[in-house]
Copies of this chain bind each other. A is one copy, B any other.
Amino acid sequence: MTAPHTNVQKISEMASRHLSSLSVDCVVFGFHKNEMKVLLLKIPYKDEWALPGGFILRDESAENAASRILKERTGLDGVFLRQFHVFSDPGRVKPRDHRDNLTRMNIPENDIKWLCSRFVTIGFYALVDYTRAVPTPDEFTTRSEWRDLTDPGMLMMDHRVIVNTALDTLRLQLNNLPIGYNLLREKFTMPELQKLYETILGRKLDRRNFQRKILSYRILLRLDERKTGVAHKAPVLYRFDYDGYHRALEEGLKGGF
């Protein structure tokens, strides 16, 4: 069987070019029409999706590998990207399943052997601008798509666990780090920002408490403009204060002891 839509010819001598036993998987979040999206790749011959991922070159850090993979899969660089957890359950790959599919894709046997060995994967999550990302498949896949986070379809291996852990991390980090810079348009209303938080948290927030709390972090600038084309009272526009936002990224939000 041939694999006309994939680029398996690019794969060769995987073992000699990469660190053994280690991979990187990226949970790429986007926000569109009040829904959280996750970028996934369609596995050929199977009704399964996979996270964008790859391996670490011999002279590369895990962070650089993740940035490289993210750039290849979305066209974007310089985005918020952060390691969040290592997944190392020895049973996380079913080598038999994996081998069957790789064999169908005409991948060289020595590479299949390497690809079917045990990998510990480092999970990274990224927050990207949905409108600017260009989903691009990798050598093993034919299609890349934004999928609804709440209903992404069947995910391969432990990728659903990886997505859920990334989401849990993101929810916890809302209390420590500013968020929204890559997820919203440059100017936004307070209800739009609240909706982003509600979508990530999966629950409603009190309007007054949210506004009080988010303003106390000093990461927003209130603009002397109002949103146009709105039926009723036009809401005030905000944008992120670049200095305040980046200081909070470095030092954490002042919500603690």
Residue ranges of A at the interface with B (Cβ–Cβ < 8 Å): 19-22, 56, 58-63, 83, 85-86, 88-90, 118, 120, 122, 172, 174-176, 197, 201, 205, 209-210, 213, 252, 255-257
A180 CB → nearest B CB, Å: 13
* Contact of A120 with B172 at beta-carbon distance under 8 Å, contacts A88-B61, A90-B59, A210-B257 already known: no
- Of the A-B pairs whose beta carbons lie under 8 Å apart in the complex, a sample of 19, sorted by A's number, is A19-B21, A19-B118, A20-B20, A22-B120, A56-B88, A58-B118, A59-B90, A61-B89, A61-B90, A62-B120, A63-B88, A86-B122, A172-B252, A174-B256, A175-B176, A175-B255, A201-B257, A209-B257, A255-B256
Chain B residues whose CB sits within 8 angstroms of the CB of A197 once the complex forms: 257
A58 CB → nearest B CB, Å: 7
Closest B residue, CB atoms, query A21: B19
Closest B residue, CB atoms, query A90: B59
Chain B residues whose CB sits within 8 angstroms of the CB of A172 once the complex forms: 176, 252, 256
Partner of A83, one of B21, B86, B90, B257: B86
A53 CB → nearest B CB, Å: 15
Give the CA-CA distance A62 to B197 in the complex, in Å.
33
Chain B residues whose CB sits within 8 angstroms of the CB of A118 once the complex forms: 19, 58
Chain B residues whose CB sits within 8 angstroms of the CB of A175 once the complex forms: 175-176, 255-257
Closest B residue, CB atoms, query A252: B172
A90 CB → nearest B CB, Å: 5
A86 CB → nearest B CB, Å: 5
Give the CA-CA distance A61 to B86 in the complex, in Å.
10
Chain B residues whose CB sits within 8 angstroms of the CB of A61 once the complex forms: 88-90
Chain B residues whose CB sits within 8 angstroms of the CB of A58 once the complex forms: 90, 118
Chain B residues whose CB sits within 8 angstroms of the CB of A21 once the complex forms: 19-22
Closest B residue, CB atoms, query A198: B257
